[in-house]
Amino acid sequence: MERAPLNALQVFVTAARTQNLTRAAERLHLTVSALSHQVRLLEQRLGCTLFVRGPRGLRPTAEGALLLQRIGPHLDAIDAALRPLCARRDSALSLSALPSMASSWLVPRLPRFFARHPEFEFNLDSSIELVDFADGRFDGALRYGPGRWGELETELLFEEWLTPVASPRLLAGRKRPRLDRLGDWPLLCPDDPWPRWFEQFGGTEPTRYVATFSDSETLQRAALEGMGVALGRLTMARPLLESGRLVALFPERMRARYAHYLVYPKRSLEHAGFKAFRTWLLSEAAAFRAEAEAGTGRAAAVPRRRSAARATSASTRPRANGGRRSR
């Protein structure tokens, strides 16, 4: 019998776990058609159907569930064995970033890093999942949160500011809302700090909200479609505000309780790729703060680096996530 098709098995396991062809293709850096082709080849080789395809995604068949149970742990073990070896290569840099931060702020700036450092291989994992630096997979992470993550080194990149934003579609044919009457408009996501906004700027919080969403990108998409007013993060919404696809309803803004940080274990300072990236990133963040200060007349935050208190348990692994909602 021929050797097992490891690429096709990896594709199958990723598709089975995500139960979505698009998300699986994104994780594997493949097109959806290429991923589907690999699944079909595996099904032909095994002589059975592995997935039931429906309008809402994929569902493993009984044979597919059995294959996932038998193959998944072995592929995870191979991946775990290879991660520390990959992480020790000075020419390879692995970073984790929340999807909202990656798409709206980091990725548009990355070409400048590559122009300055073409010798490095850059691997970006855009995910809300926790980062476990103990396994050696990642050199650092960009996170939105309170600034304290166990034993990890934490450097402030910039503060975040919030302001109500809406689509021109929602505003069409209507007068702009008054600051003290914002509660009369359809508002999105009651989990966001709307009570603090009304307390700071006046008005009455609505008795009900139009909709709630579990992540910032979906919330922003809902605002773009004219579903309602979102309490938008200016860092994430800035490209859409500049293009006119979203509109800031008021000049007032509120400082978020969380901020954006670079988080990493101390060992990463010995990694050539990470050291170069850290220097470049802090420079980009400083320029971003200066630009924001010039545009608003407000003082920018000063970057700081600190080590949080050491964990009380030696067995605790350092992790970093995105704060309250890990957006």
Question: What is the residue extent of each domain of the chain?
Answer: 6-85, 91-327
Residue 56 to residues 19, 52, 61: CA-CA distances in angstroms?
A: 9, 11, 15
306 forms bridges with which residues in the sheet?
154
Which of 72, 103, 90 lies closest to 218 in space, CA to CA?
103
Euclidean distance between CA atoms 213 and 211, whole angstroms: 7
How far is the C-alpha of 73 from the C-alpha of 80, rounded, in Å? Answer: 10
Specify the fold of 91-327.
D-Maltodextrin-Binding Protein; domain 2 (3.40.190)
Residue count of the chain: 327
Render each residue's pLDDT in the chain as its tens digit; 327 residues: 456 678 889 899 999 998 888 888 887 878 888 888 889 889 888 999 999 988 778 889 999 999 999 998 988 888 777 666 554 567 789 999 988 899 889 999 999 999 999 999 899 998 877 788 877 789 999 999 988 888 899 999 999 999 999 999 999 988 999 999 999 999 999 999 999 999 999 999 998 899 998 888 889 999 999 999 999 999 889 889 999 999 999 999 999 999 999 999 999 999 999 999 999 999 999 999 888 776 554 333 333 333 333 222 223 334 454 433 434
> Which two structure tokens, joined as six digits, stand for 153?
């080194």
Global pTM value: 0.64
Q: 174: which DSSP letter?
A: S
The class (CATH top level) of 6-85 is mainly alpha
Chain centre distance of CA 177: 31
67 closest CA partner among 87, 85, 51, 83: 51
Kindly state the DSSP code that residue 7 receives in the 8-state scheme.
H
What gap in Å lies between CA 76 and CA 61, rounded to an integer?
21
> CB–CB of 214/193 below 8 Å?
no
Q: What whole-number distance in Å separates Cα of residue 36 and Cα of residue 30?
A: 10
Joined tokens for residue 56: 């809402």
For residue 139, give the H/E element and its range. Answer: none
Q: 213 phi and psi, to 5 degrees?
A: -135, 150
Helices and strands, counts by H and E, the chain: 11, 12
Specify the 3-state DSSP secondary structure of 12: helix
Map tokens 């309170």 to a residue: 146
Report d(CA 235, CA 297) in Å as an integer.
16
Query: Could you say which DSSP state residue 105 is in?
Result: I
Specify the residue for token string 């080590």: 307
